[in-house]
Every structure is written in C-alpha cells, then in structure tokens.
Homo-oligomer: A and B are copies of this chain.
Amino acid sequence: MSNEPSTIAQFTSARPLVVGAVLFPDFELLDVFGPLEIFGLLRERSQSVTLAEHSQPVRSSAGPSSVIDRTLDQPGKLDVLLIPGGIGTRREVENTAFLAKLRTLAEATPFVGTICTGTALLARTCLLDGRQATSNKVAFKWVVTQGPSVKWVPSARWVEDDKYFTSSGVSAGIDMSLGLVTRLFDRATAVAIAQRAEYEWHEDKSWDPFAKIHGLVP
C-alpha cells in the first residue's frame, strides 16, 4: 500500500480506519482522548490504538495511566498518527531514539495530526520543515525554537499542510480531528459526529481567540 491519501470508500467495518496515538510520560489527557473520542464515534468504521516507546502503561500529567497497545518498534500500519502534547514533550524533544522512530512512523502514515505541543515533537523530526504549522498558544515561543525551518502560524485553530494537520492547544485537537474526518470522509460525517458528541465544532480553522488572549497577536 502506498502513502496516497486515503478516501472514504476504503473505510468500512471490514477495513476500518486505523488511528494510532503516541503516548509518552506526562502526556496531556485531552490532547489524546478528545481526538480518539471523535474517531471513536465513527464506530465500526474506525479502530483506535495507543503506541509508545515501551509496552508498559504510560502515566498522563494529570495522573491516570493508559494501557499501551503497540510499541513504536512494532507499530503496524496506521492511517492516522496522532501526536499529543503535554509537559512531557520538554523531555521527549531530547529523546533522539524516540524521535527517530516517530519520524519513521510519521513518514509511513498517510495522515499525521499533532495536538498542542505535540507539534514540537513532529518539528524535531524535521518533517515540518518548509511547511505551515501551529501549536499551543501558551507554549508557542518554546515550540517555535524546536523547528526553526517551520512556517509557524501564530493564529489558527488548526493548520492543514498536505498530510500534516497541526492544532492549537489541548481542546483544539477535537476541532482538528473533525477536520481530518472531513478530509477522510466528508463534512456531513464530521457534523454528525460533533452533534452526537454534543460538541460545538469550531469549523473555521482561522478561529483563534486564544492567540490574542495569550499575547501572540495584537
């Protein structure tokens, strides 16, 4: 199978969309489980797995730990790779073994979504070089230092550049995931999922009051 962007016709209960979220110690809970909620509402058309460097459960910054389904050495084939943020990114940007595996997996996966400071991890793989991307607004200045060749967008709910979907802080991952559902399926599917989750989707990618609140734009 090639890396050609997938289309709606591929994903059925017999061939579900496989979504993988990479966890690391001190990941941010909502960065992971907001997006996995959205893909989970595709029901039998989707399958979600967690991945990490090692197979032991991984603890979030808030405390609760998640079971790991696959290691980065045996990630299997994914359709969508999700990279969350969290305070643990400050350590993982220096974890070269982890970043090398993350790069290999991101290259092999048709779509890659980052949430919050997860964009810093993807930036460190150099796969965002020359591409437009955004990230968490509170940590934006730090994230920018992790990818000097990235075309950083300070004000955006999320940014799409080819197969890379990068989102703003924490809850923005939910809006970005609905954008991914629109690309992979269609807008009607995304709207139906948002309504089922009783979520007010910020469908406009440029909506970003937090860039101003956190001092990135006047």
Q: List residues of A (202-218) whose CB comes within 8 Å of B's CBs.
A: 202, 209-210, 213-214
Report the minimal beta-carbon distance from A190 to chain B, rounded to whole angstroms: 14
> Contacts of A63 on B, CB cut-off 8 Å?
36, 40, 47-49, 69
Assess the B65–A66 pair: CB atoms within 8 A: yes
Contacts of A60 in B (CB 8 A): 40
Choice from B29, B69, B170 contacting A36 with Cβ under 8 Å: B29
- Chain B proximity of A87: nearest CB distance (Å): 10
Min Cβ gap A30→B in Å is 4
Q: Chain A: how many interface residues by the 8 Å CB criterion?
A: 45
Contact A200 B197, beta carbon cutoff 8 Å: no
Complex Cα distance, B179 from A34, in Å, reads 20
Q: A198-B136, A199-B171 are in contact. Are A64 and B48 (CB under 8 A)?
A: yes
Among B40, B169, B202, B210, contact of A62 (Cβ-Cβ < 8 Å): B40
A137 within 8 A of B: yes
Given contacts A48-B64, A64-B50, contact A199 B170 (CB under 8 A): yes
Partner of A196, one of B21, B67, B138, B174: B138
**A160 at interface by CB-CB < 8 Å:** no
Q: List 27 A-B contacts (CB under 8 A).
A: A29-B33, A29-B36, A29-B40, A30-B33, A30-B34, A30-B197, A34-B34, A36-B64, A40-B61, A40-B62, A48-B62, A48-B64, A64-B67, A66-B66, A66-B67, A136-B198, A137-B198, A138-B196, A170-B196, A170-B198, A170-B199, A171-B174, A171-B197, A171-B198, A195-B214, A200-B200, A200-B209
Residues of A that sit less than 8 Å from B by CB: 21, 28-30, 32-34, 36-37, 39-40, 47-50, 57, 60-67, 69, 136-138, 168-172, 174, 195-200, 202, 209-210, 213-214
Closest 9 CB pairs of A and B: A40-B62, A169-B198, A33-B33, A30-B37, A65-B67, A171-B199, A170-B197, A48-B63, A198-B210
